[in-house]
Amino acid sequence: MGAPFEWLTDAAASALLEAEFGIPDATLTRLDTERDDSFHVVTPEAEFSLKVAHPLDSPALIDLQSAAVSHVAGLLPVQRVLKTVQGERVARLLTWLPGTPVFDVLPDDRQVGLLGETLGRLNASLVTFEHPEARRVFPWDALRLPDLRTLGESPAFEWFEADVIPNLAELPRQVIHNDFHLGNVLADPATEGYVTGVLDFGDVVHSARIADVAVAASYLISPARLGWRGVELFLAGFERHVAVTDLERTVLPALVAARFAQRILINDWLRRDDPVHDSTANRAALADLLERRS
């Protein structure tokens, strides 16, 4: 799930940019990421994103991410991979996308629908995408929730066993983005289309199609506080591009609960030595979902 590693210094990132990508004297700003080293790179001529992968991320996994981005490029506003170099850690130089993370420009009702439309377009585009690494065992795949019992208890396990497990064979599956949270979507509220970019294909995995919606829904509920009404608006936008089955609608709340359980259990484990981390908000959101179920 995660392992500590030594963060790349700004000086080392600058040296990497010059030696491997031919970009000297750039201004670098570190971006807030969990698993890799990412930098906003500014030169007099252009802006880029430099991503240096976690040491345990294999070239095959990086290829999955880059291939998924390339597959949907031209259909959605995503970064283009300009160059990839392999050393002890895989480094990529990508284009920089305009806009502000949606976390900072929370959407109105129409814009929530546009977010749903964007994920619907992305989901529909990925339906024809295949990659051997996509069928990995991945703790952040909602269908792998039962694997997390060793990390602790959660009422989401019972809900998952009741609503999801009996229906696993019937759920449509494909490669999904799997991390459509409001920090991974860029927007410009002044534009008609609102969404200006979709970022971070690091959690791409072959899973239940509706899990893509469940992931996004969990962040609409917390921290965005848009509630289940926001989820329905988002789902309506999604369905303008992807026809959701009655069964998918049935299991969606349980999969949203599964995502909250993942956010609690995995993040508590990853930050077990970090006294600043607090999962109270996620626990409260899960409790509200359980009350809704009853």
Q: How confident is the model at residue 6 (pLDDT cuts 50, 70, 90)?
A: confident
Whether residue 48 has pLDDT greater than 80? yes
Can you give the pLDDT at residue 143? 98
Can you give the pLDDT at residue 1? 52
Tell me, yes or no, if the two domains 10-95 and 100-293 fold the same way: no
Q: How far is CA 169 from the centre of its chain?
A: 24
For all residues of the chain together, what is the average pLDDT? 93
When pLDDT is averaged across residues 268-272 and rounded to a whole number, the result is: 81
Q: CA 36, CA 14: separation in Å to the nearest integer?
A: 16
Whether residue 42 has pLDDT greater than 90? yes
Residues 6+ apart with CB under 8 A from 214: 142, 252, 255, 256, 258, 259
- The CATH code of the domain at 100-293 is 3.90.1200.10
Q: Domain extents for the chain?
A: 10-95, 100-293
Whether residue 278 has pLDDT greater than 90? no
Right CATH number for 10-95 from 3.90.180.10, 1.10.443.10, 3.30.200.20, 3.40.50.300? 3.30.200.20
pLDDT over 90 for what percent of the chain? Answer: 84
Whether residue 274 has pLDDT greater than 70? no
Can you give the pLDDT at residue 275? 55
Q: How confident is the model at residue 263 (pLDDT cuts 50, 70, 90)?
A: very high
Nearest 5°: phi and psi at 186? -100, 145
When pLDDT is averaged across residues 8-22 and rounded to a whole number, the result is: 94
Minimum mean pLDDT among 26-30, 216-220, 267-271, 272-276: which range? 272-276
When pLDDT is averaged across residues 93-122 and rounded to a whole number, the result is: 95
Residue 116: name the closest of 224, 237, 233, 18 by CA.
237
When pLDDT is averaged across residues 154-165 and rounded to a whole number, the result is: 96
pTM for this one? 0.92
Q: Is 192 exposed, middle or buried (0-12, 13-18, 19+ CB in 10 A)?
A: exposed
When pLDDT is averaged across residues 113-137 and rounded to a whole number, the result is: 97
CA dihedral 100, 104, 105, 110 (to 10 degrees): 100
Whether residue 198 has pLDDT greater than 60? yes
Can you give the pLDDT at residue 272? 74
Can you give the pLDDT at residue 91? 94
